[in-house]
Chain A
């Protein structure tokens, strides 16, 4: 099947399209649009991968899906819908994660072009590496609200997706979350951690109880607290989950501990409150808003800020619902927080707001908390359609051999001072020679304390920091395997420190990911102060370390689910858009200054 109507394109492009094979990764907002354009244009062989299923909130833009498709595979439904536009093309749909051994370098090699329509960085990094390894051009797309961008990635010609270190996700120190929250987001992060402590996968880094090791509180940590309250005193030595289970998740008891006892404990850490307004413990029987329960509210409950009393009711109800859910699962299983799961979202809204009230922080509506807790990036049909259109036009240019014309292009939220809505780069952006992914000899340093970091931690560093899926590591020059992705080969060393397995300062590891066909030289750098690990690139730009509280539940959330799209954060974007500076627009002045100017002018005029 060739491009459908002879004469629309010149012969060269018609021919190139007829012989092309295209991979689309992601069947979300941009993916649906790309697929439509490809199919209509007559691209004869298309494969599409997405592990996600259809949600109601997709329907405002993912137009290949309708209400009756909710819950079904995005890739499959997208294929079926798109075939109705042009039954003569061949589409293969994969309801699957692109990060899988099934899609290795040889799989990628069969395509002329790969188009990325993803919503998360982990999968974008992975496809970036696969395309570099397979030497297939990749067209990377993203939108965030009204804005968007399209970028070509071609090995050795342009920069790759990982050439520039991405801004780390906003993070908060643990003690802010546990002891001294001052913004709604701190309480929301705490509430999500609490969810995991009680119902989800327990993570010691997500402790929600008062942090007695808070450097600010040094000296008086809890010295006077709770010595008389033995029941609560015991709690500190038990896991929150075990204690909650013992009380049968009794909402009033949970409430009394979390919002009463724990707060009193914090109050006893007096240093914390010398310059801060101290929190006020709550008790179940005298909650604000209890007297106003008769008021009739109009509008959507999600949009309204609930009273503390209402929050407590929602807390109780959601605790019960979540406990029932947990009990119905096999022993040892746990829940995974999901913003689209009603009880899970109710629980976080209620807990975050109750804690906010305690710390004199403004309360938020469920709608607002969902945005922050779920890291929702707004998405609209038009921006996705425009970006997908640009991406397919770029693909056509590539097929014609006009690679120089395929510069990055940004869709702006509004026209800039030059009247441009689309701002293209003037030339292709060359690769960063120090990129630890696409440079000929990738290299990076890992700063850590070799006396404390275990082999297991090292494995995590490679997975989280270097975005590898199954790392293998050997000592350079010696060929000694220190970390193997084969189960059982090096597991016995998991708990040993790097020093104990014979690695020392300055020694270099060759770390390899077979699937990604990617090898990087990692130099170990001893730093006594480093509590976990930190990557240092040659450009000396500090990179993201592992263990801080992160607001974006993205790749650092409790359960990273890499794949073309993730049900937990539904967006088509992981892009960094610089709104104001991308074209030398004059920076807006602060409003205050403007007011003065205005006044001046009026005076001048008269």
Chain B
């Protein structure tokens, strides 16, 4: 995604993208313009994702879908004209999709995922998959991993939805707002006003693949204690995925009553299988999962597209002046420390990571409507990264010299000036002292 970063934006681009350039900057907009995105599934959710990404000004968007437009799609699919029922969903969406932003190259692929070779997917920078079975999702995810491409997926059933991102090993910069006391000029009466300043820090997140997230062993004691406080959204997603895998379709609004019964039965099976607490997944959670509700598609599609944009523009601004860089890199390290410390204190962080809306929901009686936005499952990348780190330290132990070498390299790369030396020396000294605990810490902060 670096091919034409050196080409300046045209006046027309600067004008059209003005309001977002003011948010993420000119360089980010250039990087966005290099990004090739594949969107799988042209349901209402696919249309929302496509709209947002095309508007943002990526290089190209391919819409992939072999299905035909159905009446239920009209509830949320605004790219396909309502009189095209029975035609291919992606072909009928093409015209309106292109009209959203003529500067983006929008194409359609009418073959299904199963009829396309791995190499097809590897040609994109980022893939967003919707409406697929778990097996298909895992295949696409693994192709992405093998080719170091970013993968996102999500779905909406009724007013329920989820989102998952696997950006593999992801470095990005982040703006942090800080409050700072300032002394104003002699003209100003408020002598010590507080003002907010934003600084840019560099961050790194290690993601886990979808199959790991879906095969978490919930019988582990540290996770079970979390269930009592947790949000059942993750399991609702599992039930709906299973329904799709089993029946090769989504629950049918026309058979609302009978299909709800099937879903409740599947719920009971899952509860038994994972020994979940009785009443954990309330009936009400499985009654509003028919069709795709436009508002929910807008929310989940917005979140997924925002992740695509972030993944496209992520890169540490190299032009930062050195002083700033020093401070930020150091603060990044201490942030990582903070996170890991918190994790050790409360080991079962993983569940919250999977179910971010959990704690609030548990603190009062869960209302169906509140569920509608909370049910967007956001796999918290950073905390998952922490989990991954922990696994690495447990399973692989810490004596690998190769690992240490990598750490030293990273330390050297990330840090400048005396701080660079300080960190590298700290690592070396830890090795020579055979300070196991210190090494664990450095490994955790630096590498997996």
Given A378-B22, A393-B373, is A602 in contact with B56 using a C-beta cutoff of 8 Å?
no
Residues 194-224 of chain A: 1 if any B CB is under 8 Å from the residue's CB, otherwise 0? 0000000000000000000000100000000
Is A40 a contact of B294 with CB atoms below 8 Å?
yes
A421 at the interface (CB under 8 A from B): yes
- CB-CB < 8 A to A10: which residues of B? 287-288
Residues 384-398 of chain A: 1 if any B CB is under 8 Å from the residue's CB, otherwise 0? 011011111110110
Q: Kindly name the residue among A176, A298, A592, A606 whose own CB sees the greatest number of chain B CB atoms within 10 A.
A: A606
Specify which of B19, B298, B353, B356 is in contact with A386 (CB 8 Å cutoff).
Answer: B298
* CB neighbors of B among A272-300 (8 A): 275-276, 298-300
Complex Cα gap A67–B55 (Å):
12
Complex Cα gap A397–B297 (Å):
16
Is A393 a contact of B372 with CB atoms below 8 Å?
yes
B209 at the interface (CB under 8 A from A): no
Q: Kindly name the residue among B55, B367, B419 whose own CB sees the greatest number of chain A CB atoms within 10 A.
A: B55
The minimal Cβ–Cβ distance linking B72 to chain A, given in whole angstroms, is 5
Is A587 a contact of B426 with CB atoms below 8 Å?
no
* CB neighbors of B among A582-603 (8 A): 587-588, 590-592, 594-595, 597-599, 601-602
Closest-by-CB residue of A relative to B176 is A588
* CB neighbors of B among A3-25 (8 A): 4-10
A487 at the interface (CB under 8 A from B): no
Specify which of B295, B331, B359 is in contact with A37 (CB 8 Å cutoff).
Answer: B295
* CB neighbors of B among A404-433 (8 A): 404-407, 409, 414-415, 418-422, 424, 426
The minimal Cβ–Cβ distance linking B75 to chain A, given in whole angstroms, is 6
A138 at the interface (CB under 8 A from B): no
The minimal Cβ–Cβ distance linking A341 to chain B, given in whole angstroms, is 14
Interface residues on A, range: 35 or more
The minimal Cβ–Cβ distance linking B288 to chain A, given in whole angstroms, is 8
A383 at the interface (CB under 8 A from B): yes
Closest-by-CB residue of A relative to B441 is A605
B271 at the interface (CB under 8 A from A): no
- CB-CB < 8 A to B74: which residues of A? 4-5, 40, 86
A180 at the interface (CB under 8 A from B): yes
* CB neighbors of A among B371-404 (8 A): 372-374, 376, 378, 380, 382-383
Is A60 a contact of B71 with CB atoms below 8 Å?
no
Is B23 a contact of A182 with CB atoms below 8 Å?
no
Is B179 a contact of A8 with CB atoms below 8 Å?
no
Given A85-B78, A300-B11, A300-B14, is A41 in contact with B293 using a C-beta cutoff of 8 Å?
yes
Specify which of A60, A86, A376, A587 is in contact with B82 (CB 8 Å cutoff).
Answer: A86
- CB-CB < 8 A to B72: which residues of A? 5, 8
With contacts defined as CB atoms under 8 Å apart, how many contacts are there between chain A and chain B in the complex? Answer: 279
Is A393 a contact of B82 with CB atoms below 8 Å?
no
Closest-by-CB residue of A relative to B158 is A8
The minimal Cβ–Cβ distance linking A412 to chain B, given in whole angstroms, is 11
The minimal Cβ–Cβ distance linking B104 to chain A, given in whole angstroms, is 12
- CB-CB < 8 A to A60: which residues of B? 16-20, 55-57
Given A36-B294, A41-B295, A386-B299, is A380 in contact with B20 using a C-beta cutoff of 8 Å?
yes
Tell me how many residues of B have a C-beta within 8 Å of chain A: 109
Complex Cα gap A241–B199 (Å):
43
Given A41-B294, A588-B176, A602-B423, is A424 in contact with B254 using a C-beta cutoff of 8 Å?
no
A61 at the interface (CB under 8 A from B): yes
Complex Cα gap A386–B163 (Å):
14
Specify which of A378, A390, A419 is in contact with B356 (CB 8 Å cutoff).
Answer: A419
- CB-CB < 8 A to A579: which residues of B? 177, 196
A250 at the interface (CB under 8 A from B): no
Complex Cα gap A414–B369 (Å):
23
A sample of 5 more A-B contacts (CB under 8 A), given A60-B56, A381-B51, is A385-B299, A396-B369, A588-B176, A601-B337, A605-B437
Give 10 CB contacts A-B under 8 Å: A7-B252, A57-B16, A378-B23, A380-B20, A380-B56, A381-B52, A386-B302, A392-B294, A392-B298, A595-B327
- Residues of B with Cβ closer than 8 Å to A? 8-9, 11, 14-20, 22-23, 26, 44, 48, 51-52, 55-57, 71-72, 74-76, 78, 81-82, 99-102, 158-159, 174, 176-180, 185-188, 196, 199, 252-256, 287-288, 290-291, 293-299, 301-303, 305-306, 309, 326-328, 330-331, 333-334, 337, 352-353, 355-357, 359-360, 363-364, 367-370, 372-374, 376, 378, 380, 382-383, 419, 422-423, 426, 429-430, 433, 435, 437-438, 441-442
